[in-house]
Copies of this chain bind each other. A is one copy, B any other.
Amino acid sequence: MSDGQRPVRVEAVSTPGQPEVTDELKELYRGFEQELLIPLWTQIGGLMPAHPNSHAVPHLWRWQNLVPLAARAGDLIPVGRGGERRAIALANPSLGGRPYATPTLWAAIQYLMPGEDAPEHRHTQNAFRFVVEGEGVWTVVGGDPIPMGRGDFLPQAGWNWHAHHNATDKPMAWIDGLDIPFQYQVESQFFEFGRDVISDAERITPSRSRSERLWGHPGLRPLSVNSSGPGTPLLSYKWEFTDRALSDQLAMEREGYGGTVEPGHAAVRYTNPATGSDVLTTIRAEFHRVARGSETIPVRETGSSVYQVFDGSGVVTVGDVSWSVTRGDIFVVPSWQPFSAKSEAGSTDSDSGALDLFRFSDTPVFEALGLGRTRIDSQ
């Protein structure tokens, strides 16, 4: 993973916008190299482009290809201290062979076999799980076991102790999202091992976590919690609520009251109920539903996103690339590339046949630092 000790090289080239190549210039450039200096004028085009020109490319991973490989890892790779998790990261093909979905985001499929535990640890990296299929695993955060089921979103802010246990006789797969590349780059990461084995009291399997019992009531906060940290205290956003919120928006639209982002496009953002802001300081998470027969307008944003198809099928377009997608497929939208999604043709009075998309992005970083921009390309 090292950036290596490559020497400083300053090339004298003869191109427009560059000084003429002379012996004196070459000598000057040798002096720069010796003193570890690099002139702006040889670098400015790449370093300071007119607009974001991402190193990442749009790419699609098919769920049907990921799951068998994860299952095979279930057979061959133990889960335990050191390796920590049976998580397999999506590596964007143009990010130098690194395990990065985008320059700032990590996305992985995690797999836990029947009866297995993943050992406790904590790290400053912000994380979440999202479940596209299956059930049976509980994530234990700070001693609180949280069930994982299809459609559930489980954020977990940095520096919380956490482990997993599979309480059933079936394996389970889900996706993890983290800000590993971002924290790797700014060099903010801390990591600690916790207990190798969690207690029996934590291996229970309640249908609602304690965090949901305290924080999962709309518009209500418990007085027993004086304050909370930078991340959300609500550790599970159950599918039943997300689904209903999206259905409500589409129903309101049909009744003539608006409620959607654009015709046929319902969307919610997962938020910290203590502040109303993003669930994690570095990661935004949203759910989008494109009704049957609808298409979203192409939008560019600074920052990158990863999407997973939760249900339905359709066509998504990222920059110049389009893919037909179906349940579980995961794809990347690099910074400033236009994105749009189109569900299957047809029309319906209900939400059936909609294209359901889970999305996460690094937008909170951009907004916190005044770097967010959005552009809707006129058609």
Contact = CB atoms under 8 A, between A and B. Distances in A.
Interface residues of A, number: 150
Interface in A323-377: 334-336, 362, 364-366, 368-371, 373
A370 B88 contact: no
A317 B358 CA distance: 49
A73 B274 CA distance: 42
B220 A38 contact: no
B223 A268 contact: yes
Contacts of A109: 37
Contact of A268 (B22, B220, B251, B303): B220
Indicate how many identical chains form the complex.
4
Given A40-B83, A84-B41, A242 B217 contact: yes
B31 A69 contact: yes
A6 B97 contact: yes
A7 to B, nearest CB: 6
A19 B334 contact: no
Nearest to A52: B187
A378 interface: no
Contacts of A38: 88-89, 91, 98-99
B371 A89 contact: no
Given A36-B90, A66-B37, A249-B213, A223 B371 contact: no
Contacts of A184: 47
B232 A189 contact: no
B220 A271 contact: yes
A368 to B, nearest CB: 4
A13 interface: no
B52 A188 contact: yes
Contacts of A251: 213
6 contacts: A24-B76, A38-B91, A187-B302, A190-B373, A219-B232, A368-B368
Interface of A: 1-9, 16-19, 22, 24-25, 28, 31-32, 35-41, 43-44, 46-55, 59, 61, 65-66, 69, 72-73, 75-78, 81-99, 103-104, 108-109, 123-125, 157-158, 180, 182-192, 210, 213-224, 229-232, 234, 237, 241-242, 244-245, 248-249, 251-252, 257-261, 267-276, 279, 281-282, 286, 302-304, 334-336, 362, 364-366, 368-371, 373
